[in-house]
Structure 1
Amino acid sequence: MSNNTAVVVGGGIGGLAAAIGLRLVGWDVTVIERAATPDDAGAGISLHANGMRALAALNVADAVEAASRRQYTGGTRTPDGRSLAAMDGAALERELGTPIVGIPRADLHRILRAALPPEHLVIGSEVSGVTTTPSSRPQVTYGGTTREADLVVAADGINSTVRRRLFPSHPGPAYAGSTVLRAITHRPVEGLADDFALTWGHGAEFGHIGFPDGRAEWHATLNAPAGLRHRDPLHEMRRRFARWHDPIPALLAATRPQDVLHHDVYELATPLPSFTVGRIALLGDAAHAMTPHLGQGACQALEDAVTLTAALSRTATPTPATITAALATYDAARRPRALAVARDARRAGRMGQQLTNPIAVGLRNAAIRLTPPGAMVRTVLRHADWTPPRLDGAVAECRPGEEFRPRLDRATD
């Protein structure tokens, strides 16, 4: 195996994907994860074609799809059940060759962790310091240990410790004006015909993602002041959405109180000047945290991971200079696209869930109803139609639990 070493700070979706990718091209990788268990195990996620293509480049898409439900049916409605726009997942799959899928985050994390040897994961250890200078290898301090590496990947989320140290003058996360309550139902939901659905009210959105076993994730996104919490969140959701159309009451009825998660929505409204500093790269929410209104947060993190891997894979003999140059390539490729998607997500929220003025809501609804289906498909394609860069160099041939065996035939143009 290559002597090149990397430390990935953060064991979420983006960090695990980056670690998988770097191992595929011959790097020795250690992932440092603060949490002893994932704190989003009760949530679900939709993966668009760009996310699935990234997972395919990392050789884990088949396992993810096997644990997912394809999203073909559904759409957007008003609280009384009137349709605003129908979802045509089959048309998107025909255009892109890749389906949209829904999967519990816990299952996605499990699949990604299974692609890494357990000894490469350090769980329950918080990074307390990161240092970098032009003339030395970056250092990461965690749990009383300081480790040097040729590369550090900061995938430690929206409240990134690494980002704060690299960009101390950056204002950090900003409250986006919305709060999200969500859960996975405790049991299958009868009459859940749609694979994916959204309902827009005034300053409120309710959506669900169906899973293969008949259960579903639901989320309620509401305009609210930051920090507002309810003594009984599930009771409040049942009261708030009692008159909204089926199957919303049924989804809430199939939920246990202890399974409801509540998080305020924050974003990096002020863009970073760079996603890299020296031999440290930021990815995912650490680099470009965005609002959830396009469902692209995880997909953009996966794009980051594959693009970073590809840039480093083209470095035949990694040195401090060539690694820094590869990170500059990563930054040039990812920053414009990720920031554009973040801006579009913010706009989608303002024109969708966050809109409260009755006249504006009526005009928006009328405009959506009059939009041809082909135009709706093209809107989704603008974000989902992404082709992964090729991963050159050593390609790992290993399955979970097997020894890493690099194949040394370099891909050529």
Structure 2
Amino acid sequence: MKIIVIGAGIGGTSAGIALQRLGHEVVVYDRMRENRPVGAALSLWSNGVKVLNWLGVGAEVAALGGAMDHMAYRDGPTGEELCRFSLAPIEQQTGQRAYPVARADLQALLMDRLGAERIRLGMQLVGISEDGTTVTATFADGTVDTADMLIGADGARSFTRDYVTGPDAPPIERTYSGYTNYNGLVPIDTRIGPADQWTTYVAEGKRAAVMPVADGRFYFWFDIPGPAGTDGDPLDALRDAFGHWAPGTQALLDAIDAERSLNRVEIWDIDPFDTWTRGRVAILGDAAHNTAPDIGQGACSALEDAFALGIAVATDTVSVEDTLRRYAASRVERAGELVLRARARGAETHGYDPAVTEAWYRSLHGTDGSGILRGIVGNITGSPINLGVGVL
């Protein structure tokens, strides 16, 4: 079977590898002209890592991952450590260590494993049509390709999603999460936090955090609540928002090379919806469930999609249309639930209700982390990659 995948991001390339490993002919198209992903890095919790293990790239992903052994919260202005605890229980309960990884490194790995000859960059999808036995994709340069199945992994502003939901469906609503995220990579500096620790400074509805990734780097991010559409120099915005915070945060600000690694991303998500397929076309990843990063499950959820799609294609034989409906039915509820969990978490931590956020800050003082760990594991437990086992 020939399968067209639209989008060479984490979801599209992982789906492509899964389908290729099943013996299908896969061609991936993406409008980007080079590997320049949005966002510097991502959190791969055990559910995402397990999918990558299943795809045969587990050792390479482990080499890309940072040694994140502990988690700590600190007060933003004072730097006082509120709590610190081991992340080992997550590995013990779920059967897999978590890895923060640089997004470009992971995407390059997946593109390489899929094969450069199967990826067409600089190709913007402008049309999809079906005739009952095949699906045809048309691109802006006039290129036309026909296949047995088309998978749209083309992001939050997905063209494929518009085709799947149809012209008469109500629009899929994007919801502003209420804050802007600034992220990038800096050399590890223990003045900011230990090299083996996820360190987060919190106060005033804002966050500044670092996670270790490979090659002696911290992935950093800052969250600043505020209206959408505000522009200006990103580093100036960070210094205005965090200039009065603790020395560790100042060391992080001083380490940023804005020309090399500083991204500004307004955080939006998409209200959950259940129309993921139309005929021989289906969507996955951000096209199906664009999720705020507040629980670190965006990329993991896309990887779960790739796993579920691969299983459906490998095991269902009635028709392409039936296979895709079964794939979607296995994913819609869980993916939508993760969107809503991330939305609720963002509301709790970003000061939209000051009393709620202050209560969260108080809960961090002296905690042994058991409640936080339960929340992280709870996001993982329902993953299809766990085959119903949950946690041990």
Query: TM-score, normalization: structure 2?
Result: 0.91
Aligned in 2, Cα 1:77/1:389: closer, same or farther, shift over 3 Å?
Answer: closer
Q: Which residue of 1 aligns with 2:24?
A: 27
User: Is 1:279 the equivalent of 2:275?
Assistant: no
Q: Which residue of 2 aligns with 1:291?
A: 292
Aligned-partner SS, 2:385: coil
- 2:36·2:104 contact (CA, 8 Å) conserved in 1? no
Aligned-residue CA RMSD (Å)? 2.0
Q: Deviations over 1:258-293 (max 9, x none)?
A: 132111111112x22322111111101000001110
User: Is 1:36 the equivalent of 2:37?
Assistant: no
Amino acid at match of 2:51: A
User: Is 1:255 the equivalent of 2:256?
Assistant: yes
- 1:154·1:280 contact (CA, 8 Å) conserved in 2? yes
Aligned in 2, Cα 1:288/1:87: closer, same or farther, shift over 3 Å?
Answer: farther
Aligned-partner SS, 1:81: coil
Q: Which residue of 2 aligns with 1:115?
A: 113
Aligned-partner SS, 1:340: helix
User: Is 1:374 the equivalent of 2:376?
Assistant: no
Amino acid at match of 1:176: S
Residue among 35, 45, 52 paired with 2:49: 52
Q: Deviations over 1:124-165 (max 9, x none)?
A: 1111111235x2311111131111111111000001011122
**Mean CA deviation greater in 104-113 or 193-202:** 193-202
CA distance in 1, matches of 2:320, 2:142: 27
Q: Which residue of 2 aligns with 1:401?
A: none
Q: Which residue of 2 aligns with 1:212?
A: 214
Q: Which residue of 1 aligns with 2:161?
A: 163
Aligned-partner SS, 2:376: helix
**Mean CA deviation greater in 12-21 or 58-67:** 58-67
Query: What stretches of structure 1 of length at least 5 have no aligned partner?
Result: 391-413
CA distance in 2, matches of 1:109, 1:375: 33
CA distance in 2, matches of 1:77, 1:355: 20
TM-superposed deviation, 1:190: 4.2
- 1:130·1:141 contact (CA, 8 Å) conserved in 2? yes
CA distance in 1, matches of 2:352, 2:175: 19
- 1:307·1:389 contact (CA, 8 Å) conserved in 2? no
Identity of aligned residues (%): 28
Query: What stretches of structure 2 of length at least 5 have no aligned partner?
Result: 388-392
- 1:42·1:184 contact (CA, 8 Å) conserved in 2? no
Q: Deviations over 1:93-128 (max 9, x none)?
A: 111221111111111011101111211000111111
CA distance in 2, matches of 1:250, 1:265: 25
CA distance in 1, matches of 2:85, 2:154: 34
Amino acid at match of 2:264: H
TM-superposed deviation, 1:89: 1.4
Matches within 5 A, 1:10-409: 10-40=7-37, 43-79=40-76, 80-132=78-130, 135-142=132-139, 143-167=141-165, 168=167, 169-185=170-186, 187-191=187-191, 192-193=193-194, 194-230=196-232, 232-258=233-259, 259-269=261-271, 271-315=272-316, 321-355=318-352, 357=354, 359-369=355-365, 373-385=369-381, 386-388=383-385
Q: Deviations over 1:32-71 (max 9, x none)?
A: 0110123336601110000001111111121011111132
User: Is 1:5 the equivalent of 2:39?
Assistant: no
Aligned-partner SS, 2:33: coil
Amino acid at match of 2:53: A
Query: TM-score, normalization: structure 1?
Result: 0.86
